[in-house]
Amino acid sequence: MTPLTTDGPKSSLRAKVRQLRQSFLDRLPQMAASGRTLSASLAVSSDALDEVHRIFHTIKGTGASFGFEEISFQAGIGQAVITAFRDGGGPLSDAGRIADELIALFDRIELLAAETILANAESGDAQTLAAVGGSHPGMSHGKRIFLCDDDDLAGQQIAAQLVCFGYEVVSFADTGALRAAVIVKTPDAVIMDIMFPNGMNAGTEIIESMRRELPSPPPVVFLSARKDFEARLRAVKAGGQAYFTKPVKATELVETLDVLTDREKPEPYRVLVVDDEPEVAQYHGLILSEAGMTVRLLHEPSSILSVLAEFRPDLVLMDMYMPVCSGRDLAQIIRQIPDFLSLPIVFLSNETNKVMQVSALKVGAEGFLTKPIQPDDLISAVAVRAERMRTLRSLMVRDGLTGLFNHTFLSQYLSATLATAARESRKVSLAMLDIDHFKEINDSFGHPAGDQVLVALSRLLQQRLRHSDLVGRYGGEEFAVIMQDTGPAEARTIIDGLREDFGRLSFQAGEQGFSCTFSAGIAGFPAVPSDHLMETADQALYRAKRSGRNRVCEGYAGDGDPGGVPSGERMAPAAPSVAVGRREDIGHG
């Protein structure tokens, strides 16, 4: 135990708290060992149950007080498991199974304590529970998934895949332990097997029970070796939002979890209201603002061009009759600008003459609404057209397979970002990534397998990078990442961590499994001039390929010469599980 000391009047409160926190961490292995010994005895006698509960209670309370949330959370699960066993009047035959769950929880608590002590030693500060593996500043914390599967190996494989995509996974081998844990703290989602030793449908039955007990049950994804109609029907009736048969493809599971756990609210529609009558414009603007839209009012049509360029609306709502410039004339001006050719324009006017309305639509308007209009009708008409505009805009700038930004948009965004960075003296890093041996993957396993790899890498990049980092598919198996306010050394560390995690993913092609890797090149502005940034990053990528692939190289100003030490040399390339020939012409393969 670490002694509690003071330095007299100079001793700070923070130092004392640090000592107390460290003392608690030092005691945890002994407490966990006692808990394991007592839990093991539960298989023959339940006399030790109260003492095990007390240990969990102590760990939970003290851990929470010192900010060790994960340690406290695991102890809370232990308490809940014991409480559920007591309340259910569990038979002695179940005690052995409960003992295994409790021992596993004590193991997990001891591991967390060791990881925290190590992280504190490296950072020199015990104020926070450091995340193992690190993260990019600004990244969101992983979403918590509860995985319940009595097949330990299958569960570990699924958990390892999900962790690579940024999810935090807590595994359970028993439905009772899962139920107790959900009561303590609701996860973002539950992945549930269907068959357990206690019943062919035990998984669906426990989920049905939880849905009756919880006011806001988490979304559930079922996994099973069963492919029969009855299993699928039971899963649907239990409230399952998805069903996968084993072995599950990680990319498909992650895609489903992304949808089910998405907490982000869509960006509000942006609407420009053009009307020469301020009161009328304010009234319609207020209705749309109350519906959650971002509204800009414009009373002077002559300012429309600058406002469009700066505000970038999803829709323009304008009066048809205005002095100096009519709505029809203004619509024609807008349509003559290529960037706004597809921008929805909706007329809102007192005009009831159908001929005049049709005439107005001929200049390229999306619709004609007649004043006065009911608020709900206005909101609906605007929202439908604005959403259509967003969908169209997305199709124009995104890649169809991966959903990432396409080559054209990437190039435009990079130019704009570098121009801003030059004006404001900010850093920008560009990373070019290329999947190793991608042609061989397609040849060996088929193009659907290759598509699976492309989607997996795109999702890994989207999940693990910041929202401010722009990710795009540059072409074929090549990807680009634009990282603002990030130097090349930091960018290289981040991309290298993603490289390691990508190499841990496993892919399925029929009955065959395989893995693959990527290589990357990094270049940073202002160390590298803006007009050479892309070329420099590409040269660094080429050098990574030439040096053996599965590594990250940094490029420097005036590159073309080999320079920059490749990272990842200690990791052997994780080539596909079939023999892959190495081409003489390395290129970007």
Res 5: pLDDT: 40
Task: Indicate whether 278 and 379 sit together in one domain.
Answer: yes
Span 54-61, average pLDDT: 87
Query: Are residue 225 and residue 152 in the same domain, yes or no?
Result: yes
**What is the model's pTM?**
0.56
Residue 588 lies inside a defined structural domain of this protein: no
Closest CA relative to residue 110, chosen from 66, 61, 68: 68
Question: Do 200 and 77 sit in the same domain of this protein?
Answer: no
Instruction: Report how far Cα 238 is from the mean position of its chain's Cα atoms.
Output: 27
DSSP string over 322-365: -SSS-HHHHHHHHHTSGGGTT--EEEEES---HHHHHHHHTTT-
Confidence of residue 190 (pLDDT cuts 50, 70, 90): very high
Single-letter amino acid, residue 207: I
**Confidence category of residue 93, pLDDT binned at 50, 70, 90:** low
Instruction: Calculate the alpha carbon distances from 350 to 369, 370, 374 in Å.
Output: 9, 6, 14
- Asked whether the CA dihedral 456, 457, 461, 462 is positive or negative, the reply is negative
Spatial CA neighbour of 218 closest among 261, 169, 178, 170: 261
Cβ atoms within 10 Å, residue 297: 16
Does 583 reside within a domain? Answer: no
In this predicted structure, what is the pLDDT of residue 11?
A: 46
- 298 lies in which domain range? 270-397
Query: Over the stretch 233-273, which tens digit does the pLDDT of each residue have?
Result: 999 999 999 999 988 888 789 889 988 988 667 789 999 99
- Average of pLDDT values for 145-153? 87
- Please indicate, yes or no, whether residues 234 and 167 belong to a single structural domain of this protein: yes
Residue whose token pair is 């069963």: 226
Q: Which pLDDT belongs to residue 44? A: 56
Phi, psi of 4 (to 5 degrees): -90, 120
- Sheet strands (E) in 194-260: 220-224, 242-245
Overall number of domains in the chain: 4
Domain holding 95: CATH number?
A: 1.20.120.160
Binning pLDDT at 50, 70 and 90, where does residue 207 land? very high
20 or 106, higher pLDDT? 106
Residue that finishes a domain, picked among 349, 378, 397: 397
Across 115-119, 333-337, 396-400, the highest mean pLDDT is recorded for 333-337
On whether both 113 and 220 belong to a single domain, the answer is no
In a domain, 311, yes or no: yes
The three-state secondary structure class of 222 is strand
Same domain, 352 and 459: no
DSSP characters over 61-88: HHHHHTT-HHHHHHHHHHHHHHHHHHHT
pLDDT at 264: 66
Is residue 562 in a domain? Answer: no
* Closest among 356, 359, 306 to 334, alpha carbons compared: 306
In this structure, what CATH number is given to the domain that contains residue 387?
3.40.50.2300
| Phi, psi for residue 266 in degrees, rounded to 5 | -65, 150
Cα separation, 360 vs 352, in Å, equals: 12
* Crossing angle for the helix pair 202-213 and 229-237, to the nearest 10 degrees: 10
DSSP string, 94-114: HHHHHHHHHHHHHHHHHHHHH
Cβ-in-10-Å burial (0-12, 13-18, 19+) of 132 comes to exposed
309 and 363 housed in the same domain = yes
Domain assignment present for residue 570? The answer is no
Q: How far apart are CA 202 and CA 217, in angstroms?
A: 18
Give a yes or no: residue 559 inside a domain: no
Tally of residues, the chain: 589
What is the SS3 assignment for 122?
helix
Based on the domain organization, do 38 and 123 belong to the same domain?
Answer: yes
Q: 521: domain CATH number?
A: 3.30.70.270
Last residue within a domain, chosen from 370, 397, 424: 397
Give the span between the Cα atoms of 145 and 172, in whole angstroms: 11
Mean pLDDT of 534-546: 95
Range name among 181-185, 271-275, 492-496 with the lowest pLDDT average: 181-185
Query: What beta strand segments (E) does 248-344 contain?
Result: 270-274, 294-298, 315-318
Say yes or no: 156 and 32 in one domain: no
13 vs 523, higher pLDDT: 523
Task: Report the interhelical angle of 202-213 vs 175-184 (nearest 10°).
Answer: 20
Q: Exposed, middle or buried: residue 570 (CB in 10 Å: 0-12, 13-18, 19+)?
A: exposed
Q: 133: closest CA among 144, 118, 154, 151?
A: 118
Q: Which of 397, 423, 438 is the last residue of a domain?
A: 397
- How far, in whole angstroms, is CA 395 from its chain's centroid? 21
Across 16-25, 196-205, 214-223, 417-426, least confident range: 16-25
Q: How confident is the model at residue 19, as a pLDDT?
A: 77
The side-by-side arrangement of strands in the sheet containing 428-435 is 470-475, 478-484, 428-435, 518-525, 552-554
Label residue 145 by pLDDT band (50, 70, 90).
very high
Question: pLDDT at position 4, please?
Answer: 38
Amino acid making up residue 190: V
Averaged pLDDT score across all residues of the chain: 82
Query: Is 345 in contact with 331 (CB distance < 8 Å)?
Result: yes
User: Measuring CA to CA, how many Å separate 325 from each of 304, 315, 333, 372, 473?
Assistant: 11, 19, 10, 22, 43
For 28, the token pair is 């945890």
Q: Are residues 142 and 106 in the same domain?
A: no
Give the closest residue to 198 by CA, choosing from 177, 227, 171: 177
Which stretch of 37-46, 303-312, 548-557, 576-585 has the lowest confidence by average pLDDT?
Answer: 576-585
**Over 50: is that where the pLDDT of 579 sits?**
no
Mean pLDDT calculated for residue range 345-355: 80
Say if 414 falls within a structural domain.
yes
What pLDDT sits at residue 512? 82
Please, are residues 146 and 182 in contact by the beta-carbon 8 Å criterion?
Answer: yes
C-alpha count within 13 angstroms, C-beta hemisphere, residue 529:
4
- pLDDT of 37 higher than 60: yes
Q: Return the pLDDT at 94.
A: 67
Range of weakest confidence among 131-140, 152-161, 230-239, 391-400: 131-140
pLDDT in tens, 97-144: 788 888 889 988 988 888 887 666 555 443 333 332 334 433 445 689
What does the alpha-carbon distance between residue 80 and residue 258 come to, in Å, rounded to a whole number? Answer: 29
Under 8 Å between Cβ of 348 and 371: yes
Do 338 and 428 lie in one domain? The reply is no
38, 110: one domain: yes
Task: Answer yes or no: is 566 within a domain.
Answer: no
Under DSSP, is residue 211 helix (H, G, I), strand (E, B) or coil?
helix
